C-alpha cells in the first residue's frame, strides 16, 4: 500500500486500560493505529471501524505473531513511526508457590515481547526516524510483597529501554514510562484516602499515561529525548513512608 500521510503506530495490549487510552489518544492526534491484543480481548469493542485502525489479534510472546503483526501494520499503512509496548500480566504469588512456568510467562509477556517487537520493527522505525515507548511501572523502583516476576520484568524494561536507545539511535528514539497507581476500572469507587495519599491529590487515569506517550512519540516535541524513564505516579515514589 502507498505510504500514508498520517504517521502510524502499533500499540500492544490495546484492548483495555492504558493501551486503549494510548491508542485512542494517537487516533485523536491524527495517527493511524495498529491495535494488537489477544484473541477475544475485546479489540473490536474498543475501536470503531475506521480506515485509520487495524485490529491485530495475537500473543505478544509469540515471535511469529509479532512478525505477522508488524508486517500487517506496515503493509496496511505503508509505514511505522511508533511502537508502544504496553502489554503486561501479573502473577502475584508467594515466591515459594510461584512456578517456573508462572515466572516464564510474566517474563515472556512483559519483557521478551518488548524485545521481539523492537527487533522486528527496527527497519520500518529506522526508515521513519520513529520512536519506541515501553510501558514499565514504578515496580521497577519499589515493590510490594509477592511481585518478584512482575518487578523483575519492569526493571528489565527500564534497562532494555536505555540499551535500545543507544543501539537504535540516532534513527529511533526509545523511552520508557513507569506508571504508578492508574485506575483502569470505576474511578468513582475510589476512596478519599486513595486520592489523598498521592502528593498530586488524586489517583492516576489511563489518559495521564496516554498524554506522556503521545509526547514521547512526537519528534517535534520530544526530539531530544531518548533513553529516559518517566515516572508518572502522582509523586508516590518521592513520598517517604514509615509505619507509626
Closest CA to 196 of 237, 236, 231, 230: 236
Q: Which residue has the cell 531518548?
A: 226
| Per-residue pLDDT, 163 | 98
- Classify residue 138: in a domain, yes or no: yes
| Per-residue pLDDT, 105 | 98
Number of domains in the chain: 1
Find the domain containing 165 and state its range. 8-238
Beta bridge partners of 2: none
The CATH number that applies at residue 24 is 3.40.50.720
- Classify residue 243: in a domain, yes or no: no
Residues 6 or more apart from 39 whose CB is under 8 A from it?
57, 58
Closest CA to 163 of 175, 154, 151: 175
Higher pLDDT residue, 66 or 3?
A: 66
Q: What is the mean pLDDT of residues 58-63?
A: 98
- Classify residue 117: in a domain, yes or no: yes
- Classify residue 2: in a domain, yes or no: no
How far CA 86 is from CA of 2, 193, 210, in Å, comes to 28, 28, 11
Closest CA to 111 of 169, 176, 202: 176
Residues 37/87, Cβ–Cβ less than 8 Å: yes
pLDDT band at 43 (very low <50, low <70, confident <90, very high): very high
Q: What is the mean pLDDT of residues 122-144?
A: 97
Nine cell digits for residue 29: 492526534
Residue 106 has pLDDT above 70, yes or no: yes
Residue 1 has pLDDT above 60, yes or no: no
Residues 212/161, Cβ–Cβ less than 8 Å: no
pTM for the full model? 0.96
Q: How far apart are the first and last CA of the chain?
A: 63
pLDDT tens for 200-219 read: 999 999 999 999 999 999 99
- Classify residue 149: in a domain, yes or no: yes
Q: What is the mean pLDDT of residues 69-97?
A: 97
Catalytic annotation, residues: 150
- Classify residue 39: in a domain, yes or no: yes
pLDDT band at 242 (very low <50, low <70, confident <90, very high): confident
- Classify residue 76: in a domain, yes or no: yes
- Helix locations, the chain, DSSP H: 17-28, 43-46, 63-77, 100-107, 113-128, 148-168, 192-196, 206-217, 219-222
- Classify residue 244: in a domain, yes or no: no
Nine cell digits for residue 62: 509469540
Q: What is the mean pLDDT of residues 31-56?
A: 95
Amino acid at each position: 500500500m502507498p505510504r500514508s500521510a498520517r504517521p502510524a503506530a502499533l500499540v500492544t495490549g490495546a484492548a483495555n486500560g492504558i493501551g486503549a487510552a494510548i491508542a485512542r489518544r494517537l487516533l485523536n492526534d491524527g495517527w493511524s493505529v495498529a491495535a494488537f491484543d489477544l484473541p477475544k480481548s475485546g479489540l473490536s469493542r474498543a475501536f470503531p471501524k475506521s480506515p485509520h485502525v487495524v485490529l491485530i489479534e495475537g500473543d505478544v510472546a509469540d515471535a511469529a505473531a509479532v512478525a505477522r503483526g508488524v508486517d500487517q501494520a506496515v503493509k496496511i499503512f505503508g509505514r511505522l513511526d511508533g511502537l508502544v509496548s504496553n502489554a503486561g500480566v501479573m502473577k502475584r504469588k508467594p515466591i515459594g508457590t510461584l512456578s517456573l512456568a508462572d515466572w516464564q510467562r510474566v517474563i515472556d509477556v512483559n519483557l521478551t515481547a518488548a524485545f521481539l517487537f523492537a527487533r522486528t520493527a527496527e527497519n520500518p522505525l529506522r526508515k521513519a526516524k520513529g520512536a519506541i515507548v515501553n510501558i514499565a511501572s514504578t515496580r521497577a523502583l519499589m515493590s510490594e510483597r509477592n511481585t518478584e516476576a512482575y518487578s523483575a520484568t519492569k526493571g528489565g524494561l527500564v534497562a532494555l529501554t536505555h540499551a535500545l536507545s543507544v543501539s537504535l539511535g540516532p534513527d529511533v528514539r526509545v523511552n520508557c514510562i513507569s506508571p504508578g497507581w492508574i485506575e483502569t476500572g470505576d474511578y468513582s469507587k475510589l476512596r478519599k484516602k486513595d486520592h489523598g495519599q498521592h502528593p498530586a491529590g488524586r489517583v492516576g487515569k489511563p489518559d495521564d499515561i496516554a498524554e506522556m506517550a503521545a509526547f514521547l512519540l512526537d519528534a517535534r516535541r520530544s526530539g531530544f529525548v531518548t533513553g529516559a524513564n518517566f515516572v508518572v505516579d502522582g509523586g508516590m515514589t518521592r513520598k517517604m513512608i514509615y509505619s507509626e
